[in-house]
Amino acid sequence: MNRLYNQTQQPMRMASNDFFSIGPYRKRKDQSRESVLDKYTILGYIASGTYGKVFKASGKSKDNQKQFYAIKKFKIDSKDSEITHYTGISQSAIREISLCKELKNENVINLTEIVLENKCIYMISEFAEYDLLQIIHHHSHPDLKPINEQMLKSILFQILQGLNYLHENWIIHRDLKPANIMVTSEGIVKIGDLGLARKFNNLLQTLYTGDKVVVTIWYRSPELLLGARHYTPAIDLWAVGCILAELLSLRPIFKGEEAKIDKKQLPFQENQLLKIIEILGTPTVHSWKSLKDYPEYHQLSKFNIFPPNLSAWFHSMGGQNKNCLGLLSNLLQYDPADRLSAHSALSHDWFSESPAITKNVFKNTKVKYPIRKIQKDDVNLLNQSQQYSNIGQKRAIQDDGSRKRRA
């Protein structure tokens, strides 16, 4: 019996060390993974910033050849400008990706997929041909051409729908402004750029602890300007009020000059708060009960006393609709507790009166808006990634040589 066993069953051979080592495993995974350039054709880049670059692309498969995408290539987080000091994925990128993967709403930019390639992250999203900043610029240059009320009302309603969805899912955007509000060629408004967005339920620490400065200065709420350590989604509704005012007047309502941020401490944004006080009047403890609790409350003594002036501003900009003024006033309330929520704003009387809201915000307008410009001289999506790849290969060779010498 033992003899038969020995003849028929051969001892199992030990697999080579190479099979289980990380190098060959990584090589096999890389070979099986589709490159971002295998899936998409890069048409040019849209914009660049501290996070990296955003490219416009089209699909390569039969199903999506006629579809356009925005590809955000995140910068590598490093200790300095040297590529060799690669430290991993930035916190902002991780936050934005994790949030976008959970979201699905018609009025929020939809994430298509995430591609990780050669230590770079590519976030592929649906592409929108326009943004509100571009639309406002078209109406204000060279001459002021007011946005018709139906279009204006439809834009704002869709912004509020998207924001209501975010807030109902415990997400605060923290950077709403015209440049971050996209509009598709079908006239659908979509909230984009969730790089500063955060979940605000079950917080282990305050939102202020993680990010000392949020919201672009012209759209920053008074509680943030007064140094609030605790704040609510009401900061997003203040920004919506600023956007409504900008759609009406075709210029920012509170266009202050930002004081430069010192590394040691955050400066008080005196000029920005002054711009707000000049139009809304000087806040008082009577109208804003928690006013004295803010760290920068004492700074208010620097300002002259101004009366409320929003109604006069509204009429000077050509505004006539009382309900529109009412909504604007309710969004630009000093006390965040008195500010309308996104859900309440959607039920405002202004949206129920004529002209009716349209799903396509371009309906009944004859204006031809220029599509977003792309720069076609830079379509090299993988240039930085390739440098990382080469460095990785050099390190692998060096490590392999070191192992052999030790052996």
Catalytically active residues are: 175
| Stretch (H or E) spanning 48 | strand 40-49
CA quadruple 252, 257, 262, 268: dihedral sign: negative
Q: Which of 283, 279, 234, 285 is nearest to 254 (CA)?
A: 279
Structure tokens at 355: 């002209």
Helix (H, G, I), strand (E, B) or coil at 390: helix
CA–CA separation, 245 vs 225, rounded Å? 19
Query: CB neighbours of 121 closer than 8 A, spacing ≥ 6?
Result: 73, 74, 89, 93, 97, 114, 115
Residue ranges of alpha helices (H) inside 40-148 are 91-100, 132-140
Alpha carbon distance 300, 273 (integer Å)? 9
* Cα dihedral 306, 312, 314, 317 sign: negative
Centre a 10 Å sphere on the Cβ of residue 283 and count the other Cβ atoms it contains. Answer: 20
For residues 222 and 334, the answer to whether their CB atoms sit within 8 Å is yes
Please give the C-alpha separations between residue 234 and each of 97, 134, 194, 221, 372, in angstroms, as whole numbers: 24, 26, 17, 9, 31
Amino acid type, 344 = S
Q: What are phi and psi of 171, to 5 degrees?
A: -120, 130
* Cα–Cα distance, 376 to 331 (Å, whole number): 41
Contact call for residues 130 and 179 (beta carbons, < 8 A): no
Strand order in the sheet with 40-49: 40-49, 52-59, 68-74, 120-126, 111-117
Cross-strand partners of 108: 191
